[in-house]
Amino acid sequence: MVSINQIISLCKRRGFIFPSSEIYGGFGSGYDFGPLGVEMKNNIKRAWCDEMTKKQNLPVGEIVGLDAGILMSPKIWQASGHLTAGFADELVECKKCHKRFKMDELDSSPTAQNDNGLKCPDCDGELTKPKKFNLMMKTFVGPVEDESSTTYLRPETCQGIYVNFLNVMETMRLKIPFGIAQIGKAFRNEITPKDFIFRTREFEQMEMQWFCEPSKANEWFEYWKEQRLNWYADLGLKKENIRTIEVPKQDRAHYAQRQIDIEYKFPFGWKEIEGIHNRGDYDLSNHSKHSGKELNYLDEQSGKKYIPHIIETSVGVERILFAFLCDAYTEIKGARTKTTQAVKETEMVLKLDKQLAPIKAAVLPLVKNKPELVKKAKQIYQLLKPRLACQYDETGSIGRRYRRQDEIGTITAITIDFDTLKDNTVTTRDRDTMKQKRVKINDLREVIGV
Ligand code: GAP
């Protein structure tokens, strides 16, 4: 299995992810996405958005998009329960080494305890009593920093959907059931950001809120669980690396009547990548109560008025990008070297799904010292570039260039040779099968298949 350090090293070396503020010594486990990281992130977001708003073959209803603000009225966070105990972690500190830990992450087995209870996992020191720590990121709006100007960066994107429920339903003339999907940044003042991009203080969420009749909520919950698992399977996540966990009452989020976590087997263990929540009428009822605005739905056929129940699917972009990278990371000993005539060493291939691969095609002139080949290769690169993400590379042996592209998951390598000049055909090489084909330049997009 790939190690977390192999992923971190690949990400840094090949321009996927850099540590934030690196020249200043880093900044609180923050990360910046480089050229390949941003391509891959955009591919994930596009795949999710298309899945939700275009591809869903829903038995009834539809899903529409929204882009609400990061900064909203602080009243929203009162109503949602995020400013109270509901959205707080228990924090303990080691009295000896002063490291801080999330209480629910400490090993509570007898061997991990001393006479005073749990001990510090790093130095065996005594720990302080747990203290509640709210995860909201506070800020001020306007020039005066006082209580009246205090607001918060949103810790989840969905509250923007709930407070726009009526706006969206009325302007789009939607009938229950329907969904609203949103992608955007969320912020949490995590006590212990860790495991590379797994848990950070700033991240992006892709959330879909499905508004339905209360009596149908359980059915829809099952439906959305299946749909989300199918999505991961379609994008090639290995079946053995994905599972679901029914979250017991005491561990559920404060708004959830039922919660299933979709987990991925990361190098550091099984961890949540997505939550499916039955939020009941928790959010709309609370916003109705706090705002004084009725957030009801009138069923015209039955004449019944009710507060819709909500099934939520919620996933972090960076977290699944990490999972997709781990899943795709493949080491091949020797096997590929014969064909690429490279040195006999372990080669690495990033077997990402075609939709997710940051670079779709690499354009490679066979040699760089023949101006006519280089000219033709650059023409082909210019032809493809506006339509799909591609790279031009003329440095090093062709085998070495194939390996560079394999490492970042490029789907097809296109080699331009002397025959190209005669008949306008090129050699394509498939990343996974390494099969080579002679292809007309005009058919390239079809062959690449994206
Ligand atoms: N609206 C529901 C909600 O926010 P959540 O389980 O707290 O539920 C949903 O978060 C998803 O957001 C998680 O499954 C994870 O993918 C992502 N996420 C949450 N906190 C994160 C963090 N600190 N860093 C990166 N991703 C995070």
Number of residues that make up the chain: 450
- CA 323 / ligand 1 centre spacing (Å): 14
The atom number, within ligand 1, closest to the CA of 277 reads 2
148-175, pLDDT tens digit by residue? 899 999 999 999 999 999 999 999 999 9
Please, is 272 exposed, middle or buried when counting C-beta atoms within 10 Å of its C-beta (0-12, 13-18, 19+)?
Answer: middle
DSSP string, 159-180: HHHHTTHHHHHHHTT--SSEEE
394-419, pLDDT tens digit by residue? 999 999 999 999 999 999 999 999 99
Q: Which of 183, 278, 283, 319 gets mutated to test ligand 1 (max ligand atoms within 8 A of its CB)? A: 319
Looking at residue 110, what is its pLDDT? 67
- CA 216 / ligand 1 centre spacing (Å): 26
Q: Which CATH architecture has domain 40-83+136-325?
A: 2-Layer Sandwich (3.30)
Q: Dihedral, CA atoms, 161, 164, 166, 168, nearest 10 degrees?
A: -80
Ligand 1, CB within 6 Å, residue ranges: 156, 158, 188, 190, 199-200, 203, 205, 207, 253, 272-275, 312, 314-316, 318-319
CB count within 10 Å of CB 57 equals: 5
CA separation (Å) from 373 to 125, 227, 341? 67, 48, 22
Band the pLDDT of 341: cuts 50, 70, 90: low
Looking at residue 343, what is its pLDDT? 55
Q: Dihedral, CA atoms, 73, 76, 81, 83, nearest 10 degrees?
A: 0
Band the pLDDT of 28: cuts 50, 70, 90: confident
Contacts of 411 (CB under 8 A, 6+ apart): 354, 357, 359, 360, 361, 430, 431, 448, 449, 450
Which residue type sits at 185? K
In this predicted structure, which of 177-191, 342-356, 402-416 has the lowest mean pLDDT?
A: 342-356
d(CA 319, CA 39): 15
Closest C-alpha to ligand 1, atom 18: 316
Looking at residue 85, what is its pLDDT? 67
376 sits in which H/E element: helix 371-384
Closest C-alpha to ligand 1, atom 27: 316
Phi, psi of 151 (to 5 degrees): -145, -170
- CA 256 / ligand 1 centre spacing (Å): 14
In this predicted structure, which of 116-130, 218-232, 278-292, 317-331 has the lowest mean pLDDT?
A: 116-130
Q: Which CATH architecture has domain 359-448?
A: 3-Layer(aba) Sandwich (3.40)
Looking at residue 89, what is its pLDDT? 87
257-278, pLDDT tens digit by residue? 999 999 999 999 999 999 999 9
Q: Is the confidence at residue 55, as pLDDT, over 90?
A: no
Band the pLDDT of 338: cuts 50, 70, 90: low
233-260, pLDDT tens digit by residue? 999 999 999 999 999 999 999 999 999 9
d(CA 150, CA 141): 6
- Assign 3-class secondary structure to 183-233: EEEEECCCCCCECCCCECCEEEEEEEEEEECHHHHHHHHHHHHHHHHHHHH
- CA 316 / ligand 1 centre spacing (Å): 6
Closest Cα partner for 280 from 247, 248, 250, 312? 312
